[in-house]
Amino acid sequence: MGASIAFHLASLGARDVVLADRQGIAAGATSKAMGGVRQQFSTAAEVRLAQASIRFFEELGPPLFEQVGYLFLATTEKGLAELEERRELQAQLGVPVEAVDPSFVQGLRTDDVLGAVNCPTDGVADPAAVTRELVRRALKLGVEVREGTDAATIDADVLVIACGPWSAELAAARGVELPIRPLCRQLLETGPLELPQGLPMVLEAETGFHFRRRGDKLVLAMADPEPRWGFEEQVDETLIEDRLARLHHRYPRAAGAEIERSWAGLYDMTPDAHPILGEVADGVYAACGFSGHGFMQSPAVGRALAEEILGESPSLDLGPYRLDRFEGGATFPETLVL
């Protein structure tokens, strides 16, 4: 997110832009992300952010972004009804999402699936590599990159807080309270498998279990039975057997797969699972609280926030994401948090 904002500021003519990271480029939550890029959200505001971002990812193309699609499967009548309701909203907004026969995915078990939707323009990306590409472009435009530097130590006229789950800490140093909590989520990676190049991101609508191809391996994810709030990034190994069983059921050609690697990262959660964007104090802007969707929305947010910082009219309506919405209670919770 920070790299995107810095790049877009510079591309719009801003000077003296500094991108600071206490560790290094993409060393935090970004390096641990699943890397999915989708437009299939349950609220119009989130769909529009995703639509504006997908065009940037399409321009990047392979190997940074592979447009293999996002396939949602429903195995209950209730899940199917919710899937169809979301599809109608997305289609009305121009997302090319369609009801499909999921058996088009070779090797996928579908005998228990009542319905499915797919958006072929969604896909999967390499979060760390995309971030490095944004930084490369930013450097060419004159952005100064300071790794191993705390942004709080920099004397600046404008501060943009884009620190993911650590954003509340930096905001507090400027006297601003951000309602952001870190939530631990884990990912599991199988050993090598024979996989089709075009395998989409596959998601079970009711359970949230999903997997994607990364090279010749599969990466699996699913929310924990009980949320793990806090900054501790640790894999709960008691869940591995269950996740493998789900994979073996849904994708039988991976029946012999075992987990070769696992890791945990942090979501920066807000009370309504929408981000906090815009000015939060004099000369202080926020771009955080993305609740697991920051990477995929970073191109659109980076552009719109840069425009606002420079006094231009943002290309996207940032109104729904202002910090003051929490004073009266947020009214549009995002339900599709994976």
For residue range 164-223, what is the model confidence (pLDDT) as tens digits?
A: 999 999 999 999 999 999 999 999 999 999 999 999 999 999 999 999 999 999 999 999
Of 69, 10, 73, nearest in space to 39 by CA: 69
CA distances from 115 to 181, 200, 227, 302 (A): 35, 16, 29, 36
* pLDDT at residue 295 in the model: 94
pLDDT, average across residues 302-321? 94
Confidence (pLDDT) at 329: 65
Query: What's the whole-number mean pLDDT along residues 83-93?
Result: 95
pLDDT at 108: 96
User: Is the pLDDT reported for residue 335 higher than 60?
Assistant: no
This prediction has a pTM of: 0.92
pLDDT band at 105 (very low <50, low <70, confident <90, very high): very high
Residue, of 266 and 327, whose pLDDT is higher: 266
Residue 330 has pLDDT above 70, yes or no: no
Per-residue pLDDT tens digits for 287-297: 999 999 899 99
pLDDT digits (tens, 9 = 90+) for 227-264: 999 999 999 999 999 999 999 999 999 998 999 999 99
- The domains found in the chain, sorted by start residue, are 2-327 (3.30.9.10)
% of the chain exceeding 70 in pLDDT: 97
Q: What number of other Cβ atoms are within 10 A of residue 118's Cβ?
A: 24
- The Cα-based distances of 238 to 224, 231, 241, 243 in angstroms read 11, 20, 7, 10
Read off the pLDDT of residues 127-168 as tens digits, 9 standing for 90 and up: 999 999 999 999 999 999 999 999 999 999 999 999 999 999
Asked if residue 332 has pLDDT above 80, the reply is no
Least confident of 163-172, 253-262, 271-280, 325-334: 325-334
Kindly indicate the confidence band of residue 337, based on its pLDDT and cuts at 50, 70 and 90: low
Strands 144-147 and 18-21: what pairing?
A: parallel
Q: Which residue has the tokens 């810095």?
A: 6
Confidence of residue 49 (pLDDT cuts 50, 70, 90): confident
Whether residue 63 has pLDDT greater than 70:
yes
User: What order do you get walking across the sheet with 65-66 strand by strand?
Assistant: 36-37, 123-125, 65-66
